[in-house]
Amino acid sequence: MNAHLDIERLTYLVYGMMDPAEKKQAGAHLSECADCSKAVRVLEGERRMIVEATEAPEAPEGLVGRVVEIVNGKTSTALRSRRNRAWLVVSSCAAGALLVIGLAMALTGGREPEERPANNKVVQKPGKPAAVNAGRVSVQRAGAWVEQTTGYVPGQGERLRTSDAAGATLGLGEGSQFKIRQGSEIEFQGVRGPKPVLRVLEGEVHCNVVADPQPCSIEVGSSTVTVVGTEFVVQVLEDQAAFVPEERLPRSPRVSLRVISGSVEFRAGASDLRVTPGWIALAGADGPPWIWGKEKELRTEIDKAFEEMFKKGFDLKVVMTTEEPWRNRSDEAVQASVDAVPWKNLAGAVLWDEKERDASVREQRKARTMPPDLRGDFGLGWGRVQKLAGELRVGGDFKRACRNNLASVRFVEAMAEALAGSPLTEEQRLLLKSSEIVEDLIPILDPAAPPLAKWKAQGERILHTAEYLKEALTEDQYRHLALCVGPAFFVEDYRTWVIDAPSGEDAAEKVARIWMDNFKLPPFVQAPLAWIADDFVRGHLESSRDFRRRHGAALTPLQELELSNRHLENQIRAEGRVSQVPSLGEVTKKRALAGSKALFKVRIAEGK
């Protein structure tokens, strides 16, 4: 089973914050998934520890929100472990740290207190239309977002969003104010009356509604908030980008309501709930809304819980967020595991594999299968490294085990000798910068980054490695290295798309056609796309000619890597321009931003 309940959703389940439909779906998944069931048991044990740290017999569910607020600052390195594709095993505090940040916003407001006119006086004169009183907003028109500033008057049905750090304020003619937070999106519906004034599609809106006989309704997800005069905060709680797993079960957004003053009618499904000041309520995709807790009491008991935890020396660290506990380990068990790895054979097998992949890409053929003897060494070597990673309690990619000081020295020495084609002297070994080299050879790259961006980042690191090794190797050894290190070195799924054409114009036409097909671009972009493709081909050919003038026609694999990095930079920049073509839809723009999955190599007929 590929899809799992993510840590946020597991925490919702354990802390009783799932609506009935979602809880039923999660229960069905847990009955079939041993990994998720085990994670639930861990979180349930951690929840008991939190509850025991309070004087009350049962901690309110709002405790999780406070955990998020405090621990998120103390365990910021947890974000890095997400990028490592590690399954985040967390302490009780870290479980809250990976709960979606929106829950903390629901509990604390997430930002400084809202500025309001003194005594809630009406800012606008009655009779004025709704307008943006402060800040910048973008309005969606014909699939594009057009930026507007203070004073803009939205039309009915228009969608507005803001990227302004200070947010933007939309004011009604009778004086009501709606503060739209950064990154939020709303749909303006019209004046107060039987229909909603606006729909909150994403993010958070702080509402300050003046008293008036006409009701004021706000739609949020599948819920509706109705008031005649009050102050409250509504928010669509969805996964934050930093925490979205690549494979997960689908889930619907939930809605939070925090009432600051007055009384609010909160409707979800076919049920109503009256929420009074100081209380927080939640609603799921369907079913009735429910009270989550009283803000003031939640704060008091949460602070008390943390005070007790700190007294007990409660561990707030997330597993895998720091390398210090194991980087410097050199005890006998670690030494034995490091010495058991056949580093020399492993380096030779790695080198063969990378050179073969380079050759297959260059010659546009299928890569040959690794010889049985090398395949055995390759498997056995990485198997030993994996065992070492387990003893060092390193999760995620087992190659990270090489970052232990003992292991990294052995690995770098073996790779240096394989690349140099001869053994190193003791003096040369002392010159090797093992720590820096291993960080370049086995980097932690953002899995969400586009392929070309990852290849470029890795290519730059390998070029750094070559410079580090140049200081330790003789001239002959470095020449041998230059014949071994090419574009595919430690780069996953590297491949090229060779574009043969009789002229630059024909090559540009082919490139534009590839982009049109790959990114599923609409016909109206053909004119700007032709210009971008022409500029890309010119830059590609110019950098190739300049590089070959300086290094000759026959390039070493290392020089090929350097030239490929220039081509990658040129292609990434060009595809970035494609994504910026005006009037592209959001989905199409995202496809273009994700970029191609192959490096274009343009070849023009001789003499053209």
Is the domain of 415 the same as that of 332? yes
CA-based nearest residue to 501, from 513, 492, 516, 483:
513
Q: Are 151 and 128 in contact (CB under 8 A)?
A: no
What are the structure tokens assigned to 418, written together?
A: 């394989």
Q: What are 511-551's pLDDT values in tens digits?
A: 999 999 999 999 888 889 999 999 999 999 999 999 999 99
Q: What are 545-567's pLDDT values in tens digits?
A: 999 999 998 899 999 999 999 99
Residue 143 maps to a domain: yes
Please indicate whether residue 292 or residue 308 has the higher confidence score (pLDDT): 292
Q: Are 136 and 149 in contact (CB under 8 A)?
A: yes
Is the domain of 104 the same as that of 169? no
Is the domain of 333 the same as that of 479? yes
Residue 60 is part of which domain span? 7-109+301-311
Is the domain of 511 the same as that of 467? no
Q: Are 94 and 76 in contact (CB under 8 A)?
A: no
Residue 381 maps to a domain: yes
Confidence of residue 302 (pLDDT cuts 50, 70, 90): low
Question: Mean pLDDT over residues 437-441, rounded?
Answer: 88
CA 334, distance to chain mean position in Å, is 34
Q: What are 340-385's pLDDT values in tens digits?
A: 899 999 999 999 998 998 888 888 888 888 888 888 888 888 888 8
Is the domain of 47 the same as that of 83? yes
Residue 430 maps to a domain: yes
Residue 11 has pLDDT above 80, yes or no: no
The 10 Å Cβ neighbour count of residue 303 is: 12
Is the domain of 362 the same as that of 455? yes
Most confident of 3-7, 59-63, 259-263, 281-285: 259-263
Confidence of residue 48 (pLDDT cuts 50, 70, 90): low
Residue 1 maps to a domain: no
Which range, of 141-155, 173-187, 584-598, averages the lowest pLDDT?
A: 141-155
Residue 222's pLDDT is: 80
Dmax over CA atoms of the chain, in Å, equals 89
AA identity, residue 239:
D
Does residue 278 sit in helix, strand or coil?
coil
Query: Which of 311, 340, 364 is at the close of a domain?
Result: 311
Please indicate whether residue 50 or residue 286 has the higher confidence score (pLDDT): 286
Q: How far apart are CA 213 and CA 434, in angstroms?
A: 74
Residue 464's pLDDT is: 92
CA distances to 274, 328, 338 from 406, in Å: 63, 8, 7
DSSP notation for 228-244: SSEEEEEEEE---GGG-
Q: Are 416 and 347 in contact (CB under 8 A)?
A: no
What are the structure tokens assigned to 368, written together?
A: 């040959």
Residue 103's pLDDT is: 45
Q: Are 9 and 254 in contact (CB under 8 A)?
A: no
Residue 17 has pLDDT above 90, yes or no: no
Residue 69 maps to a domain: yes
∠ at Cα 271 (269, 276), nearest 5°?
120
Residue 318 maps to a domain: no
What is the DSSP code (8-state) at residue 210? P
Strands (E) across 251-331 are located at: 254-261, 264-268, 271-275, 279-283, 290-294
What are the structure tokens assigned to 48, written together?
A: 């008991």
CA-based nearest residue to 94, from 38, 35, 26, 43:
43
Please report, for the domain that includes residue 177, its CATH number. 2.60.120.1440
β-pair partners for 501? 604
Is the domain of 472 the same as that of 500? no
Residue 406 maps to a domain: yes
Q: Among residues of the chain, what percentage have pLDDT more than 70? A: 77
N- to C-terminal Cα separation, the chain:
54
Q: Are 571 and 453 in contact (CB under 8 A)?
A: no
Residue 58 has pLDDT above 50, yes or no: no
Query: Which of 484, 506, 532 is at the close of a domain?
Result: 484
Is the domain of 165 the same as that of 278? yes
Residue 2 maps to a domain: no
Q: How far apart are CA 216 and CA 193, in angstroms?
A: 6
Query: Which of 247, 277, 311 is at the close of a domain?
Result: 311
**Domain count of the chain?**
4
CA-based nearest residue to 108, from 64, 161, 74:
64
Is the domain of 368 the same as that of 353? yes
CA distances to 92, 133, 343, 402, 440 from 407, in Å: 32, 61, 9, 5, 15
Does residue 456 sit in helix, strand or coil?
helix
Is the domain of 222 the same as that of 346? no
What are the structure tokens assigned to 229, written together?
A: 């005069």
The DSSP bridge pattern shows strands 204-209 and 230-237 to be: antiparallel
Residue 574 has pLDDT above 90, yes or no: yes
Is the domain of 132 the same as that of 230? yes
Is the domain of 286 the same as that of 367? no
